[in-house]
Amino acid sequence: MGGISLLGICALLVSCASAEGEKSAVEPEFVLTYAENQAEDYPTTQGAYRFAELVEERTGGKILVQVNAGAALGDEQSVIEQLQFGGIDFTRASLSSVGEFIPKVNVLQMPYLYNSADHMWKVLESEIGDQFLHSFEGYGLVGLSWYDAGARNFYTSEKPIRTPEDMVGMRIRVQESELMSRMVELIGAEPVQMAFASVYSALETGKIDGAENNWPSYQSERHYEVAKYMTVDEHARVPEVQIIAESTWKKLSPEYQQIIRECAKESALYERKLWEERTKRSREIVEKAGCQVIELTQEEKVAFQEKMLPLYNEYCGEYMGLIDKIVEVGK
């Protein structure tokens, strides 16, 4: 009798152990990397974490996405290259960087193209936005969803700027983007292309006189500590995009592909909400810290806009029809 009960106990233990094993050890089919160049608490990074959570949940743990924030996997340009080779699976990137690989997307980041955030979102959420997401294929990339990045402004360390003339001769950091370099050249300043992570020290050491970015980046990267004059010229709204490597995409079943797309779109809605809150908070933080905000009148903004107009012929010659459609959406 003792023998039987011992056997019984053993059987019970074995079955408990295997049930426990099944629960905790869902073998993932894919463990994928996600590169993000912003800090952990930044809206786009939080969007990435939300994306990873949703994907894990909806695939029952079969796809795990590991988010690497703070440019741990490299700067934006090299991360995009790595996606093209399949070395990294996902990223979120600024269209300024993507435009170097897929020139057509420059259309969506032209200076003063949108008259408001609403206008930009109407365009991105329309068929136009969808077509652009699909235009990534053939470049080793697949566009998944649009993220918000607000409007970009110029900021300087030594003296405030109100007019394009104030910028003549200044060395201004731009992203590694020909379009952005040319924009600064047209104003009469000298563009200096540089990766995002190097901007703080370049401002601090006087290697550059200024840079341009949105409120959250200006605050998060502490640029305001070394460039306290912020001119709200809102010269560009540069959409951001979540991308998956085409080689990774092709390994996924249609069912997984659909889950990934849905989760990307949901995470983007979350990021947009965080973006709005963070923009306000960042502005408060920098103002409290003594940063000087130079608000421009509509006429003063037009002076910048006029300088930048030649860019449309230079970069969008063959896409003028598309530009007209985008402008129409904002009317």
Binding site for ligand GCU (CB under 6 A): 37-38, 76, 94, 149, 175, 196, 213, 217, 240
In the bound state with ligand GCU, the residue whose beta carbon lies nearer, of 37 and 153, is 37
User: Which alpha helices (H) appear in 188-330, and where do they start and end?
Assistant: 199-204, 215-220, 246-251, 254-288, 298-308, 310-316, 320-329
Strand partners, 172: 191, 210
In the bound state with ligand GCU, the residue whose beta carbon lies nearer, of 193 and 247, is 193
**Residues 6 or more apart in contact with residue 90 via CB below 8 angstroms:** 32, 33, 34, 35, 48, 51, 65, 83, 242, 243, 244, 245, 248
Q: Minimum distance from CB of 252 to ligand GCU (Å)?
A: 25
In the bound state with ligand GCU, the residue whose beta carbon lies nearer, of 112 and 196, is 196
Give Cα 314 distance to the centre of its chain: 25
Q: Minimum distance from CB of 56 to ligand GCU (Å)?
A: 24
The amino acid at residue 52 is: A
In the bound state with ligand GCU, the residue whose beta carbon lies nearer, of 75 and 319, is 75
- Burial class, 5, CB count within 10 angstroms (exposed 0-12 / middle 13-18 / buried 19+): exposed
Q: Minimum distance from CB of 154 to ligand GCU (Å)?
A: 12
Q: Minimum distance from CB of 71 to ligand GCU (Å)?
A: 8
In the bound state with ligand GCU, the residue whose beta carbon lies nearer, of 35 and 107, is 35
In the bound state with ligand GCU, the residue whose beta carbon lies nearer, of 154 and 196, is 196
In the bound state with ligand GCU, the residue whose beta carbon lies nearer, of 63 and 141, is 141
Strand partners, 154: 212, 231
Give Cα 90 distance to the centre of its chain: 12
Calculate the alpha carbon distances from 259 to 64, 134, 139, 262 in Å.
Answer: 13, 17, 22, 5
Q: Minimum distance from CB of 313 to ligand GCU (Å)?
A: 25
Q: Minimum distance from CB of 200 to ligand GCU (Å)?
A: 12
CA distance 55 to 73: 21
Cβ pair 35, 91 in contact under 8 A: yes
In the bound state with ligand GCU, the residue whose beta carbon lies nearer, of 59 and 267, is 267
Calculate the alpha carbon distances from 288 to 41, 222, 228, 234, 308 in Å.
Answer: 20, 13, 12, 21, 32
CA distance 99 to 239: 11
Q: Minimum distance from CB of 277 to ligand GCU (Å)?
A: 16
CA distance 203 to 215: 17
Q: Minimum distance from CB of 253 to ligand GCU (Å)?
A: 31
Q: How many CB atoms lie within 10 A of CB 320?
A: 12
In the bound state with ligand GCU, the residue whose beta carbon lies nearer, of 29 and 204, is 204
Q: Minimum distance from CB of 213 to ligand GCU (Å)?
A: 5
